[in-house]
Amino acid sequence: MKLQGTVTALVTPFKGQKLDEQRLAGLINEQISQGINGILLLGITGESCTLTPEEQGKVIRIGVEEVKGRVPLIVGTDSNCTRTAIEKTCKAKELGADAALVVTPYFNKPTQEGIFRHFESIVKAIDLPLVVYNHPGRAVVNIELPTMLRIIDLPNIVGIKDAAEHLSQAGDLFHALRKRNSDISIFSSDDASTYALMALGAKGVISVAANLIPSQITAMVNAMLKGNHHEALNIHYELLPFFKVAFIETNPIPIKTAMNLCGFSVGDFRLPLCEMQSDHLVSLKQVLHEMNLIYKAT
């Protein structure tokens, strides 16, 4: 499997505190109609940690039914328990997912060897393409370069979602992959970093902002893939204010709030996530108004 382009890390819509299955189906089709290159369900943006196993299964089934093979469907199967991550990845394959996104085990803070064995165990247990998600800010631990190079030598590792906190680490990874002639797909995890990471060699973004502005994100990413760096840079600067405000609070609070403000009804959050602080809400509305996404910042 070859992944590239814009993959939307889709929000999970709720009606009250129930999964809004009809709206989820609509969001998936709206995204595909706007030209995105993949859908990620049950990621951090999808509030996966607050969904029951039954709800997670429903989300995957709806995804498979609606995507219909038009774009790759990636499912987040994260857990800080390796056995549970294996079970969730097996279930994702059983239900028809094309690939799984697996984050570094969080909270229990494994060593580099423990991180490697986590991914090794999943690969040995299930034959499904995997995207490795390195997110030190969420997982507390970082996948160091020597460990990452061991992981990508495992079978079925097709991509890396990179949320490393320092661009220099990404540069070291790209340099190492270039020396190996590796064609593994690296994705930006942060919309604001997409241009810079693609300039280094990334193949696209797993995007939060694309929930609201998919066509603009795909235009920027496609321009970079075609080598039109000046065009992509112009789009980057046009969208940068939104990229910043989309992470003014914990994801997905700002993006779901923005979608609701702009008429894309996705409902509320599940605790421990809650509504935005009033001062941040003012900032978000102002940016949406300036970008003509909503016409009255009230």
Catalytic residue, from 88, 91, 93, 133: name it.
133
Exposure pattern of 19-53 as b/e (b: 16+ CB <10 Å)? bbeebbeebbeebbebebbbbbbbbbbbbbeebee
Q: Which amino acid is at 64?
A: V
Instruction: Report the amino acid identity of residue 139.
Output: A
Query: Phi/psi class of residue 69: alpha, beta or left (left: φ > 0; alpha: ψ in -120 to 50)?
Result: left
The tokens for 38 are: 């993949």
- CA dist 136 and 133 (Å) reads 10
Active site residue 161: yes
Degrees, nearest 5: CA angle 21-77-96? 60
List C-alpha distances in Å: 110 to 70, 139, 288, 289: 37, 10, 40, 44
Distance CA 72, CA 185 (A): 14
Catalytic residue among 88, 91, 93, 161: 161
With tokens 């992944």, the residue in question is: 3
133 included as an active-site residue? yes
Phi, psi of 222 (to 5 degrees): -65, -35
Report, in this order, helix, strand and coil percent for the chain, each rounded to 5: 50, 15, 35
Give Rg (Cα) of the chain: 18
**Residues with active-site annotation:** 133, 161
